[in-house]
């Protein structure tokens, strides 16, 4: 009932604004004739439309800020400490007795975000819900990640696919994990890069005993990174994934590692 009353009040306010505005244009219109009056009404319509657009933009920005803050609070909970507070951390900081307790609390916060805001915040919240669900209801979490692979928000789709591949890998379903990592490598998106996906794929191959396939991938990652150029035609900074790939390659096949092109000294990069 209260909600209905508020709706009526808003309607009355809108009618009052409309009557006042159009009344003003009517009075000014009486001073003009023919074409002048038509122009005046057209100008009035543009002004009103402009005001409505300005109001919508401000409202959208405010809602976006509110959604980001709500999402941030939920993320803070999902990364809170489990057990006693760590040294140097305030005693008042949020802590949980177990990972499952933390995950359940985080899910509740992310569900609030998903219920209140639109995309991309709803889809982002759904991804975090699925990720945290793995600790409290693994089958349901996997089902949610599977569904989110085809989400309309590219970032969410990529992260969900990557998380699903990690789940398959940890469950020993290496063929399925390799297939998903291969798909991500082909996509080469900004969220999960080709380097990152291929590094994970190489590690899966190594677990499967496919040493040559793993070595080839690792070599190609490092080789491409060392040859990459930036916009200024200077050597591009080497990513963390490429660094890890080099470490894995050196451990897996030292002789193949020696075949890499010389690395540009860090002092000459950037």
**Distance between CA atoms of residues 226 and 236, nearest Å:** 8
The answer to whether residue 229 is domain-embedded is yes
Name the stretches of the chain with pLDDT < 70. Answer: 1-59, 84-93, 264-270
**Distance between CA atoms of residues 184 and 163, nearest Å:** 11
Phi, psi of 191 (to 5 degrees): -80, -50
Cβ neighbour number for residue 65 with a 10 Å cutoff:
10
**Whether residue 163 is found in the same domain as residue 144:** no
**Whether residue 118 is found in the same domain as residue 160:** no
**Whether residue 125 is found in the same domain as residue 185:** no
pTM: 0.73
The answer to whether residue 28 is domain-embedded is no
**Whether residue 222 is found in the same domain as residue 139:** no
Q: What is the pLDDT of residue 249?
A: 96
pLDDT in tens, 199-223: 999 999 999 999 999 999 999 999 9
3-state secondary structure of 136: coil
Q: What is the pLDDT of residue 28?
A: 43
Q: Which of 133, 148, 163 is the last residue of a domain?
A: 148
Phi, psi of 263 (to 5 degrees): -85, 140
The answer to whether residue 182 is domain-embedded is yes
**Distance between CA atoms of residues 234 and 244, nearest Å:** 22
**Whether residue 191 is found in the same domain as residue 232:** yes
The answer to whether residue 23 is domain-embedded is no
The answer to whether residue 197 is domain-embedded is yes
* Six token digits for residue 231: 């916009």
Q: Which of 148, 174, 191 is the last residue of a domain?
A: 148
**Distance between CA atoms of residues 154 and 158, nearest Å:** 6
The answer to whether residue 177 is domain-embedded is yes
Assign residue 251 the CATH number of its domain: 1.25.40.10
**Whether residue 131 is found in the same domain as residue 188:** no
Question: Residue 59: which domain range?
Answer: 48-81+95-148
Alpha carbon 76 to its chain centroid, in Å, reads 15
Q: What is the pLDDT of residue 103?
A: 95
**Distance between CA atoms of residues 175 and 165, nearest Å:** 10
Q: Are 246 and 199 in contact (CB under 8 A)?
A: no
The C-alpha torsion from 106 through 107 and 108 to 109, rounded to 10°, is 50
**Whether residue 188 is found in the same domain as residue 244:** yes
**Whether residue 138 is found in the same domain as residue 216:** no
Q: Are 162 and 189 in contact (CB under 8 A)?
A: no
The answer to whether residue 4 is domain-embedded is no
The answer to whether residue 209 is domain-embedded is yes
Q: What is the pLDDT of residue 63?
A: 82
**Whether residue 239 is found in the same domain as residue 168:** yes
**Whether residue 144 is found in the same domain as residue 107:** yes
**Whether residue 118 is found in the same domain as residue 133:** yes
* Six token digits for residue 127: 């991804």
**Whether residue 135 is found in the same domain as residue 170:** no
Q: Which of 148, 163, 185 is the last residue of a domain?
A: 148
Q: What is the pLDDT of residue 13?
A: 42
- Give the length of the chain: 270
Domains contained in the chain, number: 2
């Amino acid at each position: 009932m209260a909600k209905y009353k508020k709706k009526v009040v808003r309607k009355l306010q809108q009618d009052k604004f409309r009557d006042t505005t159009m009344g003003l244009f009517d009075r000014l219109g009486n001073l003009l004739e023919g074409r002048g009056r038509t122009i005046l009404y057209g100008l009035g319509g543009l002004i009103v439309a402009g005001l409505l657009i300005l109001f919508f933009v401000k409202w959208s920005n405010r809602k976006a800020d509110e959604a980001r803050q709500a999402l941030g609070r939920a993320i803070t909970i999902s990364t809170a400490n489990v057990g006693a507070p760590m040294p140097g951390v305030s005693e008042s900081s949020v802590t949980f007795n177990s990972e499952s307790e933390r995950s359940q609390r985080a899910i509740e916060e992310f569900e609030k975000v998903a219920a209140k805001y639109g995309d991309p915040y709803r889809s982002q919240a759904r991804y975090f819900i699925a990720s945290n669900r793995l600790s409290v209801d693994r089958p349901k979490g996997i089902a949610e990640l599977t569904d989110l692979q085809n989400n309309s928000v590219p970032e969410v789709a990529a992260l969900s696919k990557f998380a699903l591949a990690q789940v398959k890998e940890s469950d020993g379903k290496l063929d399925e994990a390799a297939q998903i990592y291969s798909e991500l490598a082909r996509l080469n998106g900004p969220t999960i890069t080709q380097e990152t996906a291929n590094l994970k794929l190489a590690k899966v191959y190594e677990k499967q005993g496919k040493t040559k396939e793993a070595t080839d991938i690792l070599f190609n990652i490092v080789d491409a990174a060392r040859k990459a150029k930036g916009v200024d035609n200077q050597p591009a900074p080497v990513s963390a994934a490429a660094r890890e790939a080099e470490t894995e390659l050196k451990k897996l096949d030292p002789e193949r590692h020696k075949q890499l092109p010389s690395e540009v000294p860090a002092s000459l990069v950037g």
